[in-house]
Amino acid sequence: MDYFAAKNNRTMIYFLWVILPYTIKSITTNISTCPNQQWIEESLKKGHVPGAAIVVVNATHILYQQAFGYQSLSPQQPMDVNKSIFPLASISKTFIAAAVMQLVEQELVDLDTDVNIYLSEPNKRIFHPHYPKHSITLRKLLSHSASIYISDLVQYTYFQPNDDAFNESLADMCFKYVNPNTSNWLPKPPGTMTSYSNEGPTLAALVVERVSNMSYIDYVKDKIIKLLDIDINKVGVRLSDFANIEDLVKHYIYATNMSYVSELNHLFPQLNITQIQDDFPSWVYISHFGLSAYPAGLLRMSAGTLSIYLRMFLNNGFPILRPQSIAEIRTVVGGCLIPPYNPEWSNNSTGLPPSEEFGLSWYWQTMKDGRRYIGHSGSLPGMSHLMLVNEKNTLGVILLSNIDIGLTEYPLPEMSG
């Protein structure tokens, strides 16, 4: 779930261009040399990051793993790679693609068939009100090309304290916001533009529910988590899914001034947002919450658990998917010919369009030096994450953190070691 696009982009750039490439370079240059821990700690401190977990893997082994800082500032509780449970934010979307491709392999769904066939709701058909003949398909939903657009202010209402968001069913949430009687659509036909959304992938998760006759989270646990030999008790979406809530990483925001706290309370009046006194007067704490579009942003697990899933991707899908399915996920939908939609761009704009190229839930990012990575970023109030894989599909990196701020506003330490 990327609730502030601009903020998430700044955070992603910080991680993508500074910490993670340096980590990758350190390991690929000399496999026996760990990244400079002091430099990473300095970088996180300069960025006001309370805690983070970094894991680097290849197809068979963990090459590097390290926890930094704290999962709780008050009382202080150190971050732990394998025990600290994060909400994965939009990294959760990649699990939707895995679930859909499993159904494709079983010939239960087709990526290019109208999703209404699978939803089986004759009185609640989903289509673009101005382009009813342009079908909404799983491929379009997973590649953000279904012309769905819902404002940030509406999306802020998805967040609810504790497990309250689950009082609304996934079907009710989808049909409320993605239907022809709303204005939540781009002025372009589906399949002709890309626009990042949380509702498109969530609708794809609803298809998984309808076709499998299982709740989405039960499907993920039974068909993905179990097959990866992961303890299902270490994965969930609800707070009540976990025996010890103290294992859940706390959400923090570094406020540069107290008016920022007021702004947060204005945007999220339904959440419990408080300024930490004691030793951290500039930190804002957000109590645990959920969101109704949970498949797109609320899957919870540790960085260590996520690394097992990432190794599956590096193993071309084994043991949950066929290599052809991973190839489908990695393929840029539309062959890079579907442009992004942004009404603020003009023909004489000096700004460059985003470099993201969407596959199925995963997307490609091109570095300044021309190197390409595929993966997904994620942000929630008080969380910023990144998971990526190099172009050769030989190395994967995960960085999960409990911070929410435009980190590039702060000076970075010099890189050393």
Same domain, 337 and 265: yes
Q: Evaluate whether residue 401 is within a structural domain.
A: yes
Q: Evaluate whether residue 257 is within a structural domain.
A: yes
Same domain, 186 and 205: yes
Q: Evaluate whether residue 217 is within a structural domain.
A: yes
Q: Evaluate whether residue 417 is within a structural domain.
A: no
Beta-bridged to residue 77, according to DSSP, are 72
Residue 408 scores a pLDDT above 90: no
Q: Evaluate whether residue 347 is within a structural domain.
A: no
Same domain, 126 and 21: no
Question: Which pLDDT score is estimated for 347?
Answer: 42
Beta-bridged to residue 69, according to DSSP, are 51
Q: Evaluate whether residue 125 is within a structural domain.
A: yes
Distance CA 57, CA 54 (A): 10
Q: Evaluate whether residue 83 is within a structural domain.
A: yes
Same domain, 146 and 243: no
Task: Taking each helix axis as running N to C, give the angle between helix 37-46 and helix 20-29, from 0 to 180 degrees, rounded to the nearest 10.
Answer: 170
Same domain, 155 and 293: no
Which among 191, 222, 253 is the end of a domain?
222
Distance CA 135, CA 330 (A): 23
Same domain, 207 and 337: no
Range of the domain at 152: 97-222
Residue pLDDT, tens place only, 198-254: 999 999 999 999 999 999 999 999 999 999 999 999 999 999 999 999 999 999 988
Residue pLDDT, tens place only, 97-126: 999 999 999 999 999 999 999 998 888 999
Question: Which pLDDT score is estimated for 21?
Answer: 57
Same domain, 214 and 280: no
How many folded domains does the chain comprise?
Answer: 2
Residue 8 scores a pLDDT above 60: no
Same domain, 212 and 254: no
- Residue 248 has φ and ψ, to the nearest 5°, of -80, 130
- CA 94 to chain CA mean position, Å: 8
User: Looking at per-residue confidence, does 277 or 389 come out higher?
Assistant: 389
Same domain, 181 and 254: no
Q: Which residue stretches of 238-341 are H helix?
A: 259-267, 303-314, 323-330
Report which DSSP code applies to 278: T
**pLDDT band at 351, cuts 50/70/90?**
very low
Same domain, 302 and 400: yes
Distance CA 238, CA 289 (A): 9
CATH number of the domain where residue 366 is located: 3.40.710.10
Q: Evaluate whether residue 45 is within a structural domain.
A: yes
Same domain, 249 and 372: yes
Q: What percent of the chain has pLDDT over 70?
A: 84
Task: Name the one residue in this structure whose structure tokens are 């509702």.
Answer: 199
Which among 222, 251, 284 is the end of a domain?
222
Report which DSSP code applies to 409: G
Same domain, 48 and 131: no
Residue pLDDT, tens place only, 143-196: 999 999 998 889 999 999 999 999 999 999 999 999 999 999 999 999 999 999
Residue pLDDT, tens place only, 364-396: 988 777 889 999 999 999 999 999 999 999 999
Give pTM, 2 decimals: 0.90
- Can you say whether the dihedral through the CA atoms of 3, 178, 361, 80 is positive or negative? positive
Which among 222, 252, 267 is the end of a domain?
222
Q: Cα separations (Å) of 189 from 130, 134, 185?
A: 8, 7, 9
